[in-house]
Amino acid sequence: MHDRNVPDVRGLETVAFSQGGWFTATEARRHGVSSQLLYHHERKGRFDRVRRGLYRVHGFPSGPNEELRGHWLAVGRERAVISNESALQLLGLTDVIPGMSHLLVPRLDRGIRKPEGVTVHTHVGDRTVATVWRDGMPVTTPARTLVDVATTLQPDQLEAAVTTAIGHGLATRSGLELEAQGRQGGRVITDLLNGRAEK
């Protein structure tokens, strides 16, 4: 384990490289890098301060989900999961890029400070949220994602997403039915499945 009294800038950069060049002030502190040392490296051009508590390695190549990744890290990688329309897009179940970053956090964290451009959804804190990983970020499972967006998508968009998920083996009819039980949007999914010719 790293001695926090000894700055480990290289270790911090290793964490950042695994996260598309991004890191948080909390991660910096875990590597013994103080706010003063961060400011020093920012002035020297090693790091860029994106917003309060969020940094990026200067010159690190951008990827296709940079804004979403930055929002996820800003809200908190330990508690936030990519969800709803953002999850739908990352899972390849829609071509529509959402105008907001959708993140799911425990209900106890519903009052967190969120960056501009973020919509926060909540779940009961003692329930484990099943996730899959896409582009180095945790994402709600396809079945949960489809139930989450069932009441916000246009019917043809939802049907296309469900068809794609089942057709590509990302979700099953029984899995969707199970996820739909007792959930808002569950009836929409159930009615859609009952109207399908799928087994």
* Confidence (pLDDT) at 2: 55
Determine the straight-line distance between the first and last CA of the chain, rounded to whole angstroms: 52
Look at residue 126 in the predicted model and tell me its pLDDT: 59
Regions of the chain with pLDDT less than 50: 197-199
* pTM of the full structure: 0.79
**Model confidence over 76-116: pLDDT tens digits?**
878 899 999 999 999 999 998 899 999 999 988 777 878 88
Q: Domains of the chain: which residue ranges?
A: 9-57, 75-140, 142-199
In terms of Cβ atoms closer than 10 Å to its own Cβ (0-12, 13-18, 19+), residue 143 is buried
